[in-house]
Structure 1
């Protein structure tokens, strides 16, 4: 804290001095001290810029430019006041005028003008342009960098924390270069102001000397001109150093390296170049009228340096090879670290080498982008976050084969033909096209592989045509959607609870952990996701749980209460508006039979129905399901609320896509038409 306070005080005093110097006259000895401090700060900035490893290490450089500019201008005002009032601006100004300017008005003027031209025309102009272009390109590159981070995150190359750090760095770079684009205008304005102040000083000083001190015009011009040139040099040299620092920083880019070390290595790191330069210099010294001794000596220096660097590089290469061999031997000797092998990725997509171009951004593949969209799509659709999807190639697979794993276990596989398209008949296309017969991997529908040349014709005939990346993405989406309940962990539930707690703290405090534990909430959410019900409306779900958890902690019963509170969402999912939906009902006798067979235990409820009776009921269900499918309708069975969850458990092993809804989950505006009844 003490260091922070001293820093704050130092900065405040620095700025306060700048403001005071505009108003209060200062003695020449104090001006000397301040001019020396100003030169020191300029040199500190220059050497800091040279040796920082990346530009963000000097992220406050634009603010620093403003501070140093205002301080330097305030010193200009103070020195001008001393020159015009006393004719004695102090040792530093006088020394710069006499020593740097050679004590000659003309020489000093020329040196000053040359400095101004170098600063204003060369350094300032270039720095301003580089800062402007860098700011523009940094902003333009932001979306691409963000997508690259998302791609690395999805492939597991980086962690969430690393992705967050990279995004923050991109934001900081954008802000820095944008600020530098504006800050270079300070330096440009400072150079112009210095030039104007010098002209005013010469004119004002000459007038003061001639009118008030009785000097001749030439004598006044000489005396005040030298002082003014000294004053101009005192301000322009630090200004030139700051301008140079600005130019170095904006041209340095975002390279994370020691600037001077890299610069020297790039200039003198290739011995062949030094040999050529040395030979050319020796040739010029021998065969031209140029100074023979100078050019031959300089050429010899380059030749010897080249030879030395060549030998150093040879030694470094041998050392690297030895170090690499030693590292490999150490790795072999080290006991294997098997801890990393114990980790199981939630979702993996492995593919053969023939599919690599689809996942390689450099080859135009967009599979990584599609994976990002899958996570976004499921988050919007089901209200849960899909874990990181690991993509990796597997040489053990066929070139065009891919497999999908959930928690390390293969659940699905498929095979594509690269540079081909899959054409599927939606049911109404009569004309056939030639191709390689296959099956769509997600829904196992008959399809045909066609070439690029057949694509346009197939689409014109009415076929649904998809490319290989879309096939893989669709298959992956379906596998994730069917297993999303299993992928919902307690940590995911905790994150959802924390997000809702920010806006509804009272609800969360009432619900957990007083009424329900995290595991019980997880079970309810998994029950919903298992039947494809979105949990995005977490507020309604938790409100319902809080209402009924005091009565029962049975997660199956609580799930039914939640489903009834979500009846509007369930109705809009299964029953289209302004349409009559065909459904099948369940015989009340079967409902009563199922309820009588339900037994309660510590592990929950289970059904003790006779196997033969179960088979008869399932046969009846299959008959009604086939009837709905023949009509092209969704297979929906409606039951009474009390029996819905038990009937769903009874049928889920036989009919995966069967939708079971209770009467209490149907919105009042829905129109239904019963086309059959499950009875046996």
Structure 2
């Protein structure tokens, strides 16, 4: 044993294992050219039979097809081996066939005499039957199974990939396990595709066997009669028996290999090999065996039938059925005894924290026709787009949003998708993988044929068109996007508008930890010494809720640290932070502009609103009539700004900013409210629209 292990280690270190394949192929090809002595042919024919038996046994002892993934290559090599042996034996048969039946070696002689009794007519019939069985039944069936298996495996790949991604996003498996499972799925598809092609080699081998048989018989007769002067009957007997022996010694291993191929592609993957599955499933029900024994026994009682054979088999099957019945009853009694001995549980188990299912913060559910958008093997790039969305969101807004958990949902329409936030739908739509969405920005030159709809992100009129109409739509002024972009844009728009809800305490802590790497003392003095983490979170959410970014965390934390000892009211702290961020706020709306063209408010209306704030309980109430006036005037002013192509920004005193911002948020969502204190001193102001008066 030690010597064997030492030899194996030496072979591995010397790299001889990697050379085995090329050397074997070269030897097989050389056999077609170089003449071989009969003794070497005997060894090679025996080796061919041994290889076929090994392949059959390995195929029967595998538990899943990928355990024998090299099988398609083995089919090709064994086919080449048989054909090269046929060529080598044909050479010897034609050269030495006149000397007698042993001219091509003992193996061919034995197959020609022992298996068919030395009768070449019987040999031709037996050979033909073997070829028909191999070609028409086994090989054709195995090829068809491999073809269908490859098709269904490819169709099932997107669902399997989705399941792996869902498990990975849910944290049930790691990246290494997911990578391994993806590789197994790809290997399974490659295996069935290779088996479909490799089965053609075996079928071609069967056809070649028939042609070689005919060539050898005709060629042998010509060589024996013309060149060696043999009698036609003697030549026919010698060369035909040699040819039949040669054909049988090649077709029997081919039949074994084809059977192994059929077993591999027709089995269902499980933890048991073929033998265990056959015994465990075929002889699982004693009633079936007993009924079969009764039918066979009844046939054995018919006069003229081979009574002994039928009754012997019926008795054997009846005994087997009785044995299995007794074994099953004992197993049931043992199980009942174990149940009786076990303590009786009258109540269901108590609920535990394991029963609590966590809700995904961000989720994307797709119908089954949209699986191709998230399947990389089908050129689906939605996963890459989502990664890009998260990265851009991080750069623009200032914090890393939660991962988007993608899963298929059969309850949705086939082309439907749904975007969820903490388990609640915040947007939905439809996308068509083989079409394009042509969006009307408002200045198109005509209409396009197709399914009318609206852009799910911004509600613009749109139409789903065929792929061939892309250029025509672009010429007419449409904005043309693919289905992946439609879903990605919708998702990007929703998470941008709902950024405040995505900022949890964990994200706030991560922001502070990131800032602490460069300013540890600043963060240490603020949280938790001066402000609770929840107040910092609320301030940041208030900023995000009004469409601001929080990239300048240093300024935000410094401002909070400065004013936190005086007040811990998140709304008051938000106002102070906004003043500190004033230049960034103004730049967000007026990028590089020196003059700010804003919506102003009439002084009288400002005075009335301040009086209403002072008199209202809590300082946040507005009388209904006054509220209606403010809303109407604000909408009109916003329309004036939009018509002039200017930002819809309203400039008000700092005392009114929080009130008006919250008041107008839902009624006039396109207006942004800033205070005088937020405008830098180096900026000039020009009122271009007025609320409550004229500009």
> For structure 1, which segment, 51-60 or 190-199, has the greater mean C-alpha deviation from structure 2 after superposition?
51-60
| Aligned equivalent of 1:170 | 185
Count of paired positions: 520
Structure 1 residue 286, shift from structure 2 partner: 2.3
| Aligned equivalent of 1:98 | 113
**For structure 2, which runs of at least 5 residues remain unmatched after alignment?**
1-8, 98-102, 376-381, 394-400, 410-419, 427-489, 525-535, 560-576, 604-612, 642-646, 681-685
Q: d(CA) in 2 for partners of 1:612 and 1:327?
A: 75
Alpha-carbon displacement from aligned partner over 1:381-416 (angstroms, at most 9, x marks no partner): 765454549999xxxxxxxxxxx995xxx9999xxx
Over 3 Å counting, the alpha-carbon distance change for 1:79 and 1:266 in structure 2 is same
| Aligned equivalent of 1:29 | 39
| Aligned equivalent of 2:61 | 51
Q: d(CA) in 1 for partners of 2:581 and 2:329?
A: 73
| Aligned equivalent of 1:10 | 20
Q: d(CA) in 2 for partners of 1:587 and 1:172?
A: 73
Structure 1 residue 131, shift from structure 2 partner: 2.2
Over 3 Å counting, the alpha-carbon distance change for 1:266 and 1:185 in structure 2 is same
Alpha-carbon displacement from aligned partner over 1:475-501 (angstroms, at most 9, x marks no partner): xx89976521228759999xxx9xxxx
TM-score by length of 1: 0.59
Q: Does 1:300 align with 2:315?
A: yes
Q: Tell me if structure 2 keeps the 8 A contact 1:53–1:255.
A: yes
Aligned residue for 1:86, secondary structure, equals: helix
Q: Does 1:65 align with 2:75?
A: yes
| Aligned equivalent of 2:297 | 282
Q: d(CA) in 2 for partners of 1:565 and 1:325?
A: 79
Taking the TM superposition and a 5 Å limit, the aligned residue runs for 1:347-366 are 347=361
Q: d(CA) in 2 for partners of 1:285 and 1:53?
A: 39
Structure 1 residue 560, shift from structure 2 partner: 8.3
Q: Tell me if structure 2 keeps the 8 A contact 1:119–1:240.
A: yes
Over 3 Å counting, the alpha-carbon distance change for 1:131 and 1:21 in structure 2 is same
| Aligned equivalent of 1:271 | 286
Q: d(CA) in 2 for partners of 1:151 and 1:278?
A: 51
Over 3 Å counting, the alpha-carbon distance change for 1:248 and 1:587 in structure 2 is farther
Structure 1 residue 241, shift from structure 2 partner: 0.9
| Aligned equivalent of 2:51 | 41
Taking the TM superposition and a 5 Å limit, the aligned residue runs for 1:644-663 are 660=672
Q: d(CA) in 2 for partners of 1:611 and 1:324?
A: 77
Q: Tell me if structure 2 keeps the 8 A contact 1:271–1:309.
A: yes
Q: d(CA) in 2 for partners of 1:568 and 1:79?
A: 90
TM-score by length of 2: 0.58
Q: Tell me if structure 1 keeps the 8 A contact 2:65–2:269.
A: yes
Q: Does 1:83 align with 2:98?
A: no
Q: Does 1:130 align with 2:148?
A: no
Q: Tell me if structure 2 keeps the 8 A contact 1:209–1:215.
A: yes
Structure 1 residue 533, shift from structure 2 partner: 6.4
Taking the TM superposition and a 5 Å limit, the aligned residue runs for 1:440-455 are none
Alpha-carbon displacement from aligned partner over 1:164-186 (angstroms, at most 9, x marks no partner): 55544433332222222222111
Taking the TM superposition and a 5 Å limit, the aligned residue runs for 1:265-414 are 265-320=280-335, 347=361, 383=393, 384-386=401-403, 388=405
Aligned residue for 2:118, secondary structure, equals: coil
Aligned residue for 2:229, secondary structure, equals: coil
Structure 1 residue 196, shift from structure 2 partner: 1.0
> For structure 1, which segment, 84-93 or 235-244, has the greater mean C-alpha deviation from structure 2 after superposition?
84-93
Structure 1 residue 209, shift from structure 2 partner: 1.9
Q: Does 1:217 align with 2:232?
A: yes
| Aligned equivalent of 2:412 | none
Q: Tell me if structure 2 keeps the 8 A contact 1:97–1:229.
A: yes
Aligned residue for 2:301, secondary structure, equals: helix
Over 3 Å counting, the alpha-carbon distance change for 1:29 and 1:391 in structure 2 is closer
What do you get for the CA RMSD once the two structures are aligned? Answer: 6.0
Alpha-carbon displacement from aligned partner over 1:46-72 (angstroms, at most 9, x marks no partner): 112112111122222222211221122
Over 3 Å counting, the alpha-carbon distance change for 1:53 and 1:205 in structure 2 is same
Alpha-carbon displacement from aligned partner over 1:494-536 (angstroms, at most 9, x marks no partner): xxx9xxxxxxxxxxxxx9978999x99x99xx8799448699x
Q: d(CA) in 2 for partners of 1:57 and 1:390?
A: 30
Q: d(CA) in 2 for partners of 1:412 and 1:232?
A: 70
**For structure 1, which runs of at least 5 residues remain unmatched after alignment?**
350-358, 393-403, 414-472, 498-510, 536-540, 572-581, 589-609, 666-670
Aligned residue for 2:228, secondary structure, equals: coil
Give the one of 200, 220, 228 matched to 1:185. 200
Aligned residue for 2:504, secondary structure, equals: helix
Q: d(CA) in 2 for partners of 1:321 and 1:76?
A: 63
Q: Tell me if structure 1 keeps the 8 A contact 2:602–2:692.
A: yes
Structure 1 residue 380, shift from structure 2 partner: 7.9
> For structure 1, which segment, 192-201 or 4-13, has the greater mean C-alpha deviation from structure 2 after superposition?
4-13
Taking the TM superposition and a 5 Å limit, the aligned residue runs for 1:538-557 are none
Structure 1 residue 109, shift from structure 2 partner: 1.4
| Aligned equivalent of 2:132 | 117
Q: d(CA) in 1 for partners of 2:547 and 2:75?
A: 58
